[in-house]
């Protein structure tokens, strides 16, 4: 704390932004650590006869705190008809219902903002208030994917 007081004073708006960015960075590191720990646990406790580990794959998920890069194991198994299929146990067990690489929380925030604003304004609002940057095209693509999901759900009823 004393070190901070000895530094040149910065405007509060800048201080707030720096603290927010730092907090998001810590949050991303925590999420990565937890996801990879869960994945390690799943590797050890899986049904080894049914799920053959084929190694780790790097991936990224866009969250309200920014992009989280982590690695997870992929497993080979067989479907009901005996065909080979590959699954990510971590995604299944954590119910990671993503829209592409976008987390459900971020998708909900974007959808909420876009209902009252243009895609350009939505991108501006999301990029300035969250740890994630998005373009107006990215917001539009997300809304299209959400619409497709809703349409599929309505068709399946």
CB 61 within 8 A of CB 45: no
Query: What is the model's pLDDT at position 2?
Result: 58
CA distance 151 to 147: 6
More confident residue, 34 or 133: 34
CA distance 128 to 106: 14
Find where tokens 């243009």 sit.
118
Mean pLDDT across the chain: 90
Q: Quickly state the pLDDT bin for 84 (edges 50, 70, 90).
A: very high
Per residue in 7-51, pLDDT tens?
A: 788 899 999 988 999 999 999 999 999 999 999 999 999 999 999
Dihedrals phi, psi of 77, to nearest 5 degrees: -145, -170
Q: Which residue, among 16, 33, 39, 31, has the nearest Cα to 87 in the 3D structure?
A: 39
């Amino acid at each position: 704390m004393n070190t901070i007081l000895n530094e040149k004073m910065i405007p509060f708006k800048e201080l707030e932004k720096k603290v927010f960015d730092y907090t998001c960075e810590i949050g991303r590191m925590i999420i990565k650590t937890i996801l990879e720990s869960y994945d390690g646990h799943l590797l050890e406790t899986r049904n080894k006869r049914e799920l053959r580990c084929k190694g780790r794959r790097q991936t990224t998920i866009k969250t309200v705190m920014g992009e989280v890069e982590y690695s997870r194991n992929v497993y080979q198994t067989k479907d009901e008809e005996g065909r080979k299929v590959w699954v990510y146990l971590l995604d299944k067990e954590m119910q990671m219902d993503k829209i592409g690489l976008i987390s459900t929380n971020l998708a909900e925030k974007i959808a909420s903002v876009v209902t009252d604003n243009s895609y350009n304004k939505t991108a501006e609002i999301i990029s300035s208030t969250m740890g994630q940057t998005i373009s107006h095209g990215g917001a539009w693509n997300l809304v299209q994917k959400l619409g497709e999901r809703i349409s599929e759900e309505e068709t399946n009823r």
